[in-house]
Structure 1
Amino acid sequence: MIKLIGTGVWILAITLASVYFSLTMASAPKVDTAAAEREAAMEFVSGYTTTVPVIGEGGVNGYLLTKLAYKANKELASKQVVPLPQMITDELYTLLVGKKLIDVEAAGSFDLEAFRGVVKEGLNRRFGAEVIAEVYVEQIDYLTTASVEQPPQKRGVTLLKGEVPAVEPTDKSGGH
């Protein structure tokens, strides 16, 4: 009987010692405060669906529909005179029409990362500061003028369908 009690006490002592040792040796996860501060300074801006005409030799050949979203610096964005979504839409027209950034004839050679980089660079140049941190592509579609007249299930070609991080809606009405 004494051996059984001694064995139980021994097991209890070893268990308590290992728990104590584990708790004292375990360190709290390291938090990168600089990265957390940078992330807290950002806001998610959902862009509008932008319809850009694709102009060819005989006139309008089709329409390029883009829906992009952005991660922007809150402080720098609030200092802009023109609201962010409107300025972004204007810059997208400049990039997609003026520079013909997307060639619908060669959709297979589309470089998504280069597209994101050019959009980010163009927007930040337009803002005069590093306002845009990331560009997310929700969708890029191309509709020909002939397909616009067809039934909805036969229209256009989806060039790219991306994923955008989920954003929790904020209640801006003050709870009313």
Structure 2
Amino acid sequence: MIKIIAIGVWVCVVSLGSSYGMALFASKSTPTEKQEPSYFEGLDYRKTDPITVPVIYEDKIRGYILARFVYTIDGKTVAGLAVPPDPFMLDEAYRVIYSAKGFDFDRPERYDVAKLTEDIKKAVNARYKKDIVEDVLIEQFDYIEKDKVQHG
């Protein structure tokens, strides 16, 4: 009977010792320094409503650009804004697309979308007078010629 009790005490001591050893090892191997947050931590992704922008060349409407954007913004920052950024995003997108020069009607796929998104981001941030928008992405960007638009 004493042998069984001694074996039970020995198993408890070994279990407690190994648990203590693993806890001590894990606490020393865990980094204690604070890690930098990733780029996407705390960012909200928001979609704009679609916009239709007429493309005018030589005083005539040649077609329309249909566009929809996604932008990233800090969640804490947007919660503190008195005016949401959506109207500014749409307004600046419309202005940038409408005022674009040198649109190639034969090859609309060559439109400089990287410059477009950067211009929209800069314009919205300029309106707020601080960096609110982190990035602007394109969800939809289509060119439709005027004669291919179906009415009613």
Report the TM range for the smaller structure's normalisation: 0.5 to 0.7
Structure whose CA Rg is larger: 2
1:85 and 2:96 equivalent? no
- Conserved 8 A contact 2:125-2:132: yes
Number of the residue aligned with 1:39: 41
Q: Secondary structure at the match of 2:83?
A: coil
Deviations 1:115-150, CA, capped at 9 Å, x for gaps: 322221122112211110011111100011100139
Q: Which runs of 5+ in 2 are unaligned?
A: 1-20
1:128 and 2:129 equivalent? yes
Correspondence list, 1:93-132, <5 A: 93-98=94-99, 100=100, 103-105=103-105, 106-132=107-133
RMSD: 3.4
Q: Which runs of 5+ in 1 are unaligned?
A: 1-19, 151-176
Q: Secondary structure at the match of 2:131?
A: coil
- Conserved 8 A contact 1:80-1:127: no
Number of the residue aligned with 2:15: none
Code of the residue aligned with 2:129 in structure 1: it is G
Give the deviation of 1:58 after TM superposition.
4.4
Q: Secondary structure at the match of 1:39?
A: coil
Aligned residues: percent identity? 23
Deviations 1:8-34, CA, capped at 9 Å, x for gaps: xxxxxxxxxxxx89x948945899743
- Conserved 8 A contact 2:104-2:110: no
Give the deviation of 1:65 after TM superposition.
0.6
CA distance in 1 between counterparts of 2:77 and 2:111 reads: 31
